């Protein structure tokens, strides 16, 4: 099965309904056995997560846009309304106002998708502290789309020159073996660390540093600098017809062949953290996670041709007249994808090994326990994911309450790169049973396909473990 490059990237965007891979609302919950994933110094008890079933699962997206940004419900007066019972169209429909569409966009449309699925998770006391062993499947995808790209798509021809820069798509999937240890130095200070061994499955990075488009006669002249890297297990690339080779004979890449399972990268990372009890009712904490890299072997390298032409958006984008063959919403999106691939043309430069840093995350926290009711705590958490154009920053306020030993709940309100969000975690705990379910970002209104309509700020986390005592 052949996968086109742009289709593959955007397909991943729409298929994963998933910035950080951890449940940040649980950071201040004393019943949470997994919060050490955000700060290894918070590892405080022995436990066993139920393996391969529901030990610890986290899936989420962080975004400043949603489906309604690009897909519109057609009005009865619009061209093509009701043809074959179709009433949805893309922003490219001629009856969609350019000013309305562009006015609803940020300077950069950002989307972060993250998955973390724990296969094995164990905590135990030894070596003067508490230790953890984890085996996790992780996947991270970041997309940055500048407003200038959509301005060109919607208004092409109204100006003769457009400049598009800072566009990027990056995705990585890997298996992580993490060995952690926390140690209480004294009554005030606890430190923790994790060593992570990483086994890469797939990596892809499309970086459009610049695209300058100039209208000349009946086509667009493009001066661009596009770099692509891809290490996709044992998969091979597909190429366009040799007639589309560049002046130096480089082959134009059209897509990716069938995936062939194998490991294509190895790396290592570290988590470091500490907590400090300032006074009996106040504790501060700090951590940095995913400080490391993965070295990818046999990485396909590709780049733009420097100068090339684009004939414009020529595919049908709306229902009209007698031609209804390409009018479904899916067909409209496919047509746009085909045209975009002509803009982002890349040509193979060969293979080589590449090392890439992970997106490290900083967590800074402060927790206050209410003196008159010690089962109620308030927390502040600042999170910064350092990932260049895919970076994410957030400040969060949390209230956690444990009215009875067997139940704890935490609620948060947060604001940051992706706007304002709210989340809730419920944790049910017995002597040898611990089940939690929660979200850092409540689901808003979704489409029939469960795609967020407003902002793709959604997450779901759940897990089942067996506590083994403090």
Cβ neighbors of 248 (< 8 A, separation 6 or more) are: none
Give the per-residue pLDDT at 21.
62
pLDDT tens digits, one per residue of 26-68: 999 999 999 999 999 999 999 998 876 677 888 888 888 877 8
Percent with pLDDT over 90 in the chain: 36
Give the per-residue pLDDT at 1.
38
Q: What tokens were used for 298? A: 């046999």
Give the per-residue pLDDT at 42.
96
For residues 222 and 212, the answer to whether their CB atoms sit within 8 Å is yes
Instruction: Locate the domains of the chain by residue range.
Output: 3-275+298-353+433-467
CA–CA separation, 325 and 323 (whole Å): 6
pLDDT tens digits, one per residue of 411-436: 999 988 777 888 999 999 988 889 99
CA–CA separation, 17 and 114 (whole Å): 9
What is the DSSP track for 414-447? EEETTEEEEEEEEEEEETTEEEEEEESS----B-
Nearest Cα to Cα of residue 198 among 170, 220, 176, 166: 176
Give the per-residue pLDDT at 159.
85
Cβ neighbour number for residue 303 with a 10 Å cutoff: 19
What is the DSSP track for 256-322? E--------EEEEEEEEEEEEEEETTEEEEEEEEEEEEEEEEEEEEEE--SEEEE----S--S-BTT
pLDDT tens digits, one per residue of 443-467: 666 555 555 556 667 888 999 998 8
- Band the pLDDT of 250: cuts 50, 70, 90: confident
Backbone angles phi, psi at 63, to 5 degrees: -155, 160
CA–CA separation, 119 and 20 (whole Å): 19
Task: Count CA atoms closer than 13 A to 109's CA, side-chain side.
Answer: 21
pLDDT tens digits, one per residue of 64-79: 887 788 888 888 888 7
> Mean pLDDT of all residues in the chain?
83
The pLDDT of 244-273, averaged and rounded, is 82
Alpha carbon 451 to its chain centroid, in Å, reads 15
Nearest Cα to Cα of residue 467 among 47, 35, 51, 31: 47
CA–CA separation, 229 and 200 (whole Å): 14
- Provide the whole-model pTM: 0.83
The pLDDT of 316-342, averaged and rounded, is 57
pLDDT tens digits, one per residue of 371-398: 999 999 999 999 998 877 778 889 999 9
Residues 48/461/13/88 CA torsion (nearest 10 deg):
150
| More confident: 194 or 320 | 194
């Amino acid at each position: 099965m052949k996968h086109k490059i742009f289709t593959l990237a955007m397909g991943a965007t729409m298929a994963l309904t998933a910035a950080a891979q951890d449940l940040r609302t649980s950071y201040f919950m004393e019943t949470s056995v997994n919060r050490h994933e955000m700060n290894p110094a918070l590892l405080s008890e022995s436990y066993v997560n139920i393996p391969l079933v529901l030990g610890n699962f986290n899936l989420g997206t962080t975004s400043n846009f949603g489906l309604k940004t690009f897909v519109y419900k057609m009005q009865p007066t619009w061209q093509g309304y009701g043809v074959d019972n179709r009433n949805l169209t893309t922003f490219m429909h001629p009856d969609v106002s350019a000013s309305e569409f562009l006015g609803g966009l940020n300077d950069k449309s950002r989307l972060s998708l993250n998955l973390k699925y724990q296969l094995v998770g164990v905590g135990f006391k030894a070596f003067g502290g508490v230790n953890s062993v984890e085996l996790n499947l992780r996947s991270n995808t970041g997309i940055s789309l500048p407003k200038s790209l959509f301005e060109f798509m919607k208004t092409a021809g109204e100006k003769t020159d457009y400049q598009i820069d800072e566009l990027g798509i990056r995705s990585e999937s890997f298996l992580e073996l993490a060995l952690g240890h926390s140690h209480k130095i004294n009554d005030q200070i606890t430190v923790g660390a994790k060593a992570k061994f990483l086994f890469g499955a797939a990596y892809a990075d499309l970086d459009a540093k610049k695209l300058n488009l100039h209208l000349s006669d009946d086509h667009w002249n493009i001066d661009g600098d596009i770099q692509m890297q891809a290490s996709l297990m044992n998969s091979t690339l597909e190429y366009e017809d040799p007639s589309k080779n560049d002046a130096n004979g480089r082959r134009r890449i059209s897509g990716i062949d069938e995936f062939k399972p194998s490991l294509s990268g190895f790396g290592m990372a570290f988590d470091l953290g500490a907590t400090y009890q300032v006074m009996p009712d106040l504790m501060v904490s700090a951590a940095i996670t995913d400080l490391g890299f993965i070295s990818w072997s046999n990485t396909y390298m590709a780049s733009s041709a420097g100068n090339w032409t684009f004939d414009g958006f020529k595919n049908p984008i709306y229902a009209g007249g007698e031609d209804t063959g390409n009018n479904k919403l899916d067909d409209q999106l496919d047509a746009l994808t085909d045209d975009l691939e002509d803009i982002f043309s890349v040509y193979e430069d060969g293979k080589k090994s590449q090392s890439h840093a992970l997106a490290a995350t900083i967590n800074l926290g402060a927790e206050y326990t209410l003196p008159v009711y010690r089962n109620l705590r308030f927390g502040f958490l600042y999170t910064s994911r350092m990932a260049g154009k895919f970076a994410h920053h957030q400040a969060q306020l949390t209230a956690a309450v444990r009215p009875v030993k067997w139940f704890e709940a935490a609620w948060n309100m947060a604001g940051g790169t992706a706007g304002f969000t709210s989340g809730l975690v419920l944790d049910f705990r017995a002597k040898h049973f611990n089940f939690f379910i929660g979200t850092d970002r409540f689901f808003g209104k979704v489409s029939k396909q469960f795609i967020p309509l407003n902002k793709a700020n959604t997450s779901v986390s759940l897990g089942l473990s067996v506590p083994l005592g403090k």
